[in-house]
Amino acid sequence: MHCEEIPVFLRKTTAVLATVAALSIGVVGTAQAARTLTYNLSGAAQYTADIDAGAKVWNDNVQNVKLVKTTSTRANIIIVADDGWPRAQTTSLGNGRVWMGKQAIDQGYNKTRIAAHELGHILGLPDIKPGPCSSLMSGASAGVPCTNPVPNAAEKSRVERNFAGTAVVRTATFEDAA
């Protein structure tokens, strides 16, 4: 039987079924909604604008996760200010606590870079030390003159993979001592 001999409705039905099958097994890509993580600044004192700027850095540079400010105490990320060194503690991927430590700020480290770096830990990134200024996760090892708050291509890619549904991050504490 030649193609022109197959009834039109049967050809259309076959085409529809093939499309549905392709979509169901992922042959044809569909856009995945970004995972939304909320952050609470109620304990961030004078650093709220810096945290917002750090969150914006991530929102502008990755697609699979978005950071959204909330006043809820049930936020994914709780941010507080203290007199120590900046640090982050994850409870699971995308969840944890960030401390905006005054000690590094008093030494002259860039506040937006600190915020973006610590949020990077919550997004599943480890420290990369020592490291160049071009690496956000090099943290304090890049030195006080480094003001770059933007993740490099490898850091962006890892966060994208982390929030594509395949990453597992165990509970961890990241302390960025000089």
User: pLDDT of 133-159, one tens digit each?
Assistant: 999 999 999 999 999 999 999 999 999
Q: Would you give the DSSP letter of residue 4?
A: G
Residue-level pLDDT at 33 = 81
Residue 21 φ then ψ, to 5°: -60, -45
pLDDT digits (tens, 9 = 90+) for 23-43: 333 333 345 689 999 999 999
155 is annotated as an active-site residue? no
Residue-level pLDDT at 160 = 98
- Look at residue 71 and tell me whether its pLDDT is greater than 60: yes
What are the chain's domains? 35-165 (3.40.390.10)
* Cα 131 to Cα 46, 58, 98, 142, distances in angstroms: 29, 20, 21, 6
pLDDT digits (tens, 9 = 90+) for 92-111: 999 999 999 999 999 999 99
> Could you tell me if 154 and 173 are in contact, meaning their C-beta atoms sit under 8 angstroms apart?
no
Residue-level pLDDT at 165 = 73
Q: Among residues of the chain, what percentage have pLDDT more than 90?
A: 74
- The residue count for the chain: 178
Q: For the residues 8-15, what does the mean pLDDT come to?
A: 47
Helix (H, G, I), strand (E, B) or coil at 76: coil
Strand partners, 82: 101
Tokens of 151: 């993740």
pTM of the full predicted structure?
0.78
| Residue 170 confidence class, pLDDT cut points 50, 70, 90 | low
Total H helices, total E strands in the chain: 5, 6
| Active-site annotation holder among 5, 118, 160, 175 | 118
The Cα 150–Cα 113 span in angstroms is 8
Tokens of 158: 């890892």
> For all residues of the chain together, what is the average pLDDT?
85
**Strands 65-70 vs 87-92: parallel, antiparallel or unpaired:** unpaired
Give the closest residue to 174 by CA, choosing from 132, 130, 141, 125: 125
